[in-house]
Amino acid sequence: MGIEKILEQSRHPHNFGIIEGYTHMRKEVGGRCKDVVEMFVKIEGRKITDISFIGESCAICTASASLLTDYAKGKSINKIKKMGKEDILKLMKIKLHSDKLKCAMVPLQALQKCINNFEDD
């Protein structure tokens, strides 16, 4: 993807805002930059039917959230639960050192915790 595309995703993130009718929400703080991401998810029949996020985060974290929310729409919660570092790196299409990888993982951690809350309901 390249750093230019990451910066573009960061400046103009997809799915930024709060969706109406979300069923689950999770706020996650983490990464080297102390990124804050709030994920809003609508789950119907074990599928993510809509998703968005808000927050204050570095460019890597914001780009990761943008790409992840694009990817997650329409996916089963089981597929998202199985995602890990390698999947985020594939979405971002760049190599990240460990500090920035932690930033990139914050949105996935928030989303997976939303799913855990869904399963606990």
CATH number at residue 84: 3.90.1010.10
pLDDT tens digits for 51-95? 999 999 999 999 999 999 999 999 999 999 999 999 999 999 988
Between CA 32 and CA 30 the distance in angstroms is 7
Between CA 40 and CA 16 the distance in angstroms is 10
**Domain ranges, residue 68:** 2-120
pLDDT exceeds cutoff 90 at 97:
no
The encoded tokens of residue 48 equal: 């993510």
Q: Is the pTM of this model over 0.85?
A: yes
**Which pLDDT score, from 0 to 100, does residue 1 have?**
55
Radius of gyration for the chain, computed over Cα atoms and rounded to the nearest angstrom: 13
pLDDT tens digits for 6-58? 888 899 999 999 999 999 999 999 978 899 999 999 999 999 999 999 999 99
Instruction: Assess contact for 108 and 88: CB atoms under 8 A.
Output: yes
Number of domains in the chain: 1
**Which pLDDT score, from 0 to 100, does residue 3 have?**
82
Closest to 52 in 3D by CA, of 66, 31, 36: 66
